Amino acid sequence: MAGQTSTASANLKKKRLRSQILVIAAIVLVFIVCHFITGGRLLRTNNIKAILTQVTYPLMVGLGMMFIFSTGMIDLSVGAQVILAGNVGAIAVEILGLGYPGLIIGTIVVMIICELLCTSCSLFIGIPSWVAGLGCALVFEALGMILVDSQAEALGTAIVYMKKCNALGQFPVIFIIAVIVFIASYFIFNYTKFGFNLRAIGGGGEVAEAMGINRKKTILLAAVIGAVVIAIGGITQLSYTGRFTPTSGMGSLSGIFKSLAVVLISGSFSRIFNDAVGCLVGSFIVAGLFNVLTLVGVPSGTGQDICLGLVVMLCGILASLRYKGVMK
């Protein structure tokens, strides 16, 4: 029995490894094919730099969402939170003159507060997390508008534009930060007690609680860690673009659309890659796809979104192929 068990286990690992290699090889192959389709522009050094830069924001926000969503909390107010927190960071730099410390601390603290508020609405009041998320999104969007309107006036502009503290958004710094965030997230998620606890809460809350895991504490901690990761993504994005434009009427959702796609792709590949690696693979797929579509002239917002939707579904189909289900 023990021999059979280790063989079964080893076979499963081999199959998983084979699938991983296959998926990565397929992505590389698609990139090479697309290189020729785009007339040799895709894999040019400058374009590779652009892709590596474009990977960073969906990846970091996706990783942050992974922490939050893994506990079963579907928080769709993340986009509104980043806009609000980012603008607080930008105001700290441009109006208060607090430089990098102001940018980093302001953005992270506001992001943590917003995420904890939203999570608490669901956790302590009992509102379904997606309802709490949508409600909070409207509130955070409105707060972002009010804040920016009041502060931009002082700058004489329509929005708060961050002209200083742009080093964090430059290549390769932005990419190095994303790599560090990915490695840290990967280890927290897969090799720490907290990581296992939060996955246990998401996978079977009653079992986890019965095993002595403090559900509320774990979910709140996941919210904090997720918020920090998303905030780092927000800071680098703000340094890169110089602004977060406030929106209303759930417009903030479009700002995290690519990150949501990354999380969806990661979920599709959950039998092949663990969630963190799935986010990495997903962010390369998303960034690569948008880059290629832009290079071949597919209109953004419509054609590009259709392609992204199809790719997300295709990933799900490919990952489910030949799934055997229960192991004997």
Partner 1 sequence: MAEEMLRMEGVSKSFGPTKANRDINLVLNKGILLGLAGENGSGKSTLASMVCGMQKKDSGKFYKNGLNYDPHSPADAAAHGVAMVVQELGVVGNLPGVVNMFLGKMDPYTKGPMVDLKAMKRDAKAVFEKWNLPLVPLDVPAGSLSIEQRKIMELARALITEPDFLVLDEISQALSQDNRQVLYQFIETFKSKGRTILMVTHDLEEMMEISDEIAVLRDGVIVESRAAGDYTMDELKRLMIGREVSGDYYRDDKEERYEDEVVLEVRNLTVPGKCEDISFDLHKGEILGICGLSDAGIHEVGSAMFGLEEGRRGSIVVKAENKELKKTSDLIKTGGAYLSKDRDAHGLMLDAGIGDNLIVPSVKELSGPAAYLSPVKTKALAQRASEAFEIKSSGLGHVVRRLSGGNKQKVNLSRWLVKDLKYIILDCPTRGVDIGVKAYIYSVLKKAKKDGIGVVMISDELQEAMGMSDRILVMKEHRAAGMLSRSSDFTEDKIMEVML
Which residues here bind partner 1, judged by CB under 8 A?
Answer: 1-2, 4-6, 8-9, 12-13, 187-188, 191-193, 196-197, 199-200, 202-204, 206-213, 270, 322-328
CB nearer to partner 1: give 199 or 258: 199
Q: Report DSSP state, residue 169.
A: G
Tokens of 328: 């004997």
CB nearer to partner 1: give 201 or 280: 201
User: Which one, of 132, 137, 117, lies nearest residue 77 by Cα?
Assistant: 137
In whole angstroms, give the CA distance from residue 87 to residue 162: 9
CB nearer to partner 1: give 140 or 189: 189
Smallest separation, CB 9 to partner 1 (Å): 4
Smallest separation, CB 275 to partner 1 (Å): 9
CB nearer to partner 1: give 86 or 282: 282
Q: How far apart are the first and last CA of the chain?
A: 12
Tokens of 196: 């296992």
Q: Are 90 and 162 in contact (CB under 8 A)?
A: yes
Smallest separation, CB 27 to partner 1 (Å): 24
Smallest separation, CB 183 to partner 1 (Å): 13
CB nearer to partner 1: give 13 or 216: 13
Smallest separation, CB 115 to partner 1 (Å): 21
Name the helix (H) or strand (E) containing 287.
helix 275-295
CB nearer to partner 1: give 72 or 135: 72
CB nearer to partner 1: give 206 or 301: 206
Smallest separation, CB 5 to partner 1 (Å): 5
In whole angstroms, give the CA distance from residue 126 to residue 77: 17
In whole angstroms, give the CA distance from residue 122 to residue 112: 16
Q: Are 129 and 72 in contact (CB under 8 A)?
A: yes
Smallest separation, CB 208 to partner 1 (Å): 6
In whole angstroms, give the CA distance from residue 160 to residue 88: 9
Smallest separation, CB 165 to partner 1 (Å): 30
Tokens of 120: 């608490």
In whole angstroms, give the CA distance from residue 176 to residue 317: 32
In whole angstroms, give the CA distance from residue 220 to residue 119: 7
In whole angstroms, give the CA distance from residue 67 to residue 250: 22
In whole angstroms, give the CA distance from residue 88 to residue 150: 12
Q: Report DSSP state, residue 112.
A: H
CB nearer to partner 1: give 170 or 214: 214
Q: Report DSSP state, residue 260.
A: H
CB nearer to partner 1: give 197 or 252: 197
Smallest separation, CB 201 to partner 1 (Å): 9
